[in-house]
Structure 1
């Protein structure tokens, strides 16, 4: 093979580490940003928390001078709460830090934590308290019960065979065999397994250890006081007419039970108050705390948008260390300080850019969704990433990053910024209606329907058509399922 030298002329795009840092900070959630800031404080001696300065209060806010639209300045007061970062101007770093990028595959927005963390470091979730499982909860009750060694072994085998909803998933013969294998020198019979099962069925939560739905609900009814109104009638329906109850055949139930209509409806209401999945209550108490990144409030007939000052501490350059840097000195100590000073400045600029971009996007969203803030979800307007990107002068990928895992506190609750984006359908007047508004309308119609004659998907589509919203039946079914609303046949009630 002949070896030769060739000269090629080409172009390629290179992202600087500073731009990559800005993009990474832009897509971090509040908790991840706090971890990133703490990591920067731990690794860079030139960065410190400004303990003396405080964020300005909402009443001290002034209109955002960075807005390029006069109408927005008239309608909104914006405040960059975390924007006054102390940055030394004697630097060759550009004043304007670009944060826009068209490359979506640089970072994975679903990844959590900072890239600067070591692999062995525990994340936030790892440091959280581990929730008690159903197995642990029942085993704790077993240890409090005066069981013999044999009965305790059977109880542990039974608990181990329960599913996440608290139902027994194996036959009692298999439990007997498992206990016999653990205690081969002890003679165990099936009646002893049944006795231990009945004891476990008295544990909390009520209904645990049942082998089917009928037994689960019967256990819960039997644990109610005997004086509970309509308790015996509810037990009769469960034990003898569960199939008629499932099919909601009121006429047949009245004929079979000989109850009056009032007695039947009261007994059915008592059954409906029971929990068909008793084990699901255990281990589901994890608290997911959300810290809003943006706070929206209405003051003096104006909607005001500001960053939450509690999302991140206020940082500054350590003046004492910065004063030690000498330009002409190439010693190791001076090089160390100079490099960390430059990193600190870039970090502050990236953080400042994140705040400005987040505030700009949040303000644009509020401007478009004023009707939602004032009237509710039914007034939500159709909005897509492209609309906001064009208005604020950013790329769609940047808007996608800044709205991912960021939350807005409004008078109507806390919502992820992505909640305000939705597709649209046409109306008879030629306008548009957002899918979020249609979902809210469906939910409202279902909540107001007659439980005995629930609205079908076709009927809901007809009612929306009367309001000028043209939605197909299949679309109604899709939206209904996304709201976890059962079909009309499953929503039908005797009450």
Structure 2
């Protein structure tokens, strides 16, 4: 038996435009510029830069696209061409709020040309007299050196690769022989297969002084004890005094654990952080500006505007003209949406950062991390009446230029805990105090996590030993045994 009934269902769907807007909000300044460039290339109706008497999009027109079937006759009678034409010289989003910096000039970082790290090593090989096979092996080994200066591959794998890719049939002994030649190249330590070999190469290339000879002996024959800082065992093993050991360790500490990083002309791509915001202190008050590169000049192509005018003035509208005007309409709709999305992106970024700035006003005025208040994403989301995910997108990938350096915005967020006086304090404050205590400890007898927890409790922060260990690891501070010095 058939039955008919009503069913109410509440669902939420994100439109493609909303998804794209979320992606735009997440982009930092440099990535946003790339996205803007891509849109300008893909949409001929959108143009950048200032233009005299340019025809901008009007903010009041309906940007919804009409559904139509390509196989049906296109009815363009409902297209109000006037909606796409405007004499407004300045886009509305540029005057809606003063949320961009006055410094709009483009600042690019020049890259110096030079020789790559690999080529630098190959150039040195040219000074050695090698057979054809030895040269092929040497160049292959040099090509296997990573950016830190290490060859992190087994010799057996290198032998196999030489056979398969270079048609060079050899054995591990010959590869070892050529590897010793690679170890003679600069910077010292390059081509090492591990840290021990890297330090040993550097020490054996130094002048044979007592401290250096002892340091090389320690690295070659007691590396495990050295890394675990078993200093008493080292003194017994080599029959030396504490002063002699201290001098030898001083020589080891002067070595470079990453020889590849010492080559200045290796042309590695360096990521340059471009602050998305700037905070300044003016007459004791905080002033926030949005990087001007986030507020591009955009307008509609004059050519496309003339096409719309021509269609409007035409009396006989052919099928081809109707097809053309539908294409133009789609491009104009896309251009209008993109400009609206940029407007919303600017407003969202500015409102979110402004809320964070006022929430952490005491920190931004002093620069003291102990003044950071506990703050989670929901605190800001509730204040600006936006979703937590939106605040997260702003915080995770944006930087702000402050009087105390350029900071990642998400660093201002932290959980809270209650001190012995019942006050809510930021975990960042506790980490800062923990870091200070460790810096001031005696390096001959570093404080254990248990001792650190006791000191923090005395300072009014009752936290457990495992919590101290967690904060210490987050600060990238090793355990007490590895902090020990003589």
Distance 1:171 1:25, change over 3 A: closer
> Following superposition of structure 1 onto structure 2, how do residues 426-445 of structure 1 map, counting pairs within 5 Å?
426-445=418-437
Residue 11 of structure 2 is aligned to residue 29 of structure 1 = no
After TM superposition, give the deviation of residue 23 of structure 1 in Å.
3.0
Change (3 A) 1:430 1:133: farther
Give the Cα–Cα distance (whole angstroms) in 2 for the partners of residues 278 and 349 of structure 1.
50
Cα displacement string for residues 375-433 of structure 1 (whole angstroms, at most 9, x for unaligned residues): 33232221111111111111222222333322222122222322222212221111122
Distance across 1 between alignment mates of 2:172 and 2:440: 56
* Residue in structure 2 matching 1:342, options 330, 333, 357: 333
Q: CA deviation at 1:359?
A: 0.3
Aligned to 1:221: 203
Pairwise CA RMSD: 4.1
1:262-302 per-position Cα deviation (integer Å, ceiling 9, x unaligned): 44322211112223454677889431122221111111111
Q: Distance in 1 between matches of 2:155 and 2:43?
A: 62
Matched with 1:149 is 132
Answering whether residue 352 of structure 2 is matched by residue 361 of structure 1, we say: yes
Distance in 2, matches of 1:351 and 1:193, equals: 58
1:314 aligns with 2:313: no
Distance 1:182 1:17 in 2: 53
* Aligned residue pair count: 424
1:302 aligns with 2:281: no
- C-alpha distance in 1 between matches for 2:368 and 2:398: 20
Deviations 1:134-160 (A, max 9, x none): 877655544553211243345357668
Q: After superposition, where does 1:257-406 map in structure 2 within 5 Å?
A: 257=238, 259=240, 261-278=242-259, 285-318=268-301, 321-322=304-305, 325=308, 331-332=321-322, 333-373=324-364, 374-406=366-398
After superposition, residues 18-57 of structure 1 pair within 5 angstroms as: 18-51=17-50
1:262/1:47 Cα in 2 relative to 1: closer, same or farther (>3 Å)? same
CA distance in 2, matches of 1:49, 1:171: 55
- 1:115-194 equivalent positions in 2, closer than 5 A: 138=121, 141-155=124-138, 166=150, 170=154, 190=173
Q: Residue 268 of structure 1 aligns to a residue in which SS?
A: helix
**Partner Cα distance (2:393, 2:141) in 1:** 49
Q: Is the 8 A contact 1:157 1:179 kept in 2?
A: no
407-416 vs 6-15, which deviates more? Answer: 6-15
Q: 1:322 to 1:210 in 2, by over 3 A?
A: closer
Structure 1 regions of 5+ residues with no counterpart?
Answer: 54-84, 95-127
| 2:18 counterpart SS class | helix
2: distance between equivalents of 1:8 and 1:198? 82
SS in structure 1 of the partner of residue 397 of structure 2: coil
Deviation sequence 1:25-66 (CA, Å, 0-9, x none): 22333233222222332233432223379xxxxxxxxxxxxx
Provide the residue aligned with 2:212 in structure 1: 231
Question: Aligned residue for 2:95?
Answer: none
Tell me the secondary structure at the aligned position of residue 325 of structure 1. Answer: helix
Map 1:75-86 to 2 at 5 A: none
Is the 1:322–1:337 contact (alpha carbons within 8 Å) kept by the matching residues of 2? no
Note the C-alpha offset of 1:230.
Answer: 3.1
Of residues 457, 461, 475, the one that matches 2:467 is 475
Aligned CA distance change for structure 1 residues 334 and 200 (closer, same or farther; 3 Å): closer
In the alignment, the residues of structure 1 paired with residue 337 and residue 145 of structure 2 have an alpha-carbon distance, to the nearest angstrom, of 55
Match of 2:72 in 1: none
Counterparts in 2 of 1:284 and 1:368: CA distance versus 1, 3 Å: farther
Partner of 2:74: none
* SS state at 1:404 partner: helix
Asked if the contact 1:46–1:340 (Cα under 8 Å) also holds between the matched residues in 2, the reply is yes
Indicate how the Cα distance of structure 1 residues 172 and 200 shifts in structure 2: closer, same or farther if over 3 A, else same: farther
The residue that corresponds to 2:70 in the other structure is: none
- Of the structure 1 ranges 371-380 and 246-255, higher mean CA displacement relative to structure 2 is found in 246-255
2:229–2:481 CA contact under 8 A, matched in 1: no
Segments of structure 2 that go 5 or more residues without pairing to the other structure are 65-110
CA displacement 1:190-235 (0-9 Å, x = unmatched): 5x65543322221233224446655432321122245x68323423
Q: Distance in 2 between matches of 1:149 and 1:222?
A: 29
- Tell me how far apart the structure 2 counterparts of residues 140 and 263 of structure 1 sit (CA, whole Å): 40
Q: Could you state the TM-score of these two structures normalised by the residue count of structure 1?
A: 0.72
- CA change 1:179–1:434 in 2 (3 A) is same
Q: Matched residues in 1 for 2:303 and 2:286: separation? A: 42
Aligned residue among 440, 445, 455 for 2:447: 455
CA contact (8 A) 1:452 1:492 kept: yes
**Which of residues 88, 98, 114 in structure 1 aligns to 2:58?**
88
User: Which has the higher mean CA deviation after the structures are superposed, 385-394 or 41-50?
Assistant: 41-50
Aligned equivalents of 1:346, 1:449: Cα separation in 2: 59
Find the counterpart in structure 2 of residue 207 from structure 1: 189
- Distance in 2 separating the partners of 1:168 and 1:49: 48
User: Kindly tell me: are residues 236 and 429 of structure 1, through their superposed partners in 2, closer, same or farther at Cα, counting changes over 3 Å?
Assistant: same
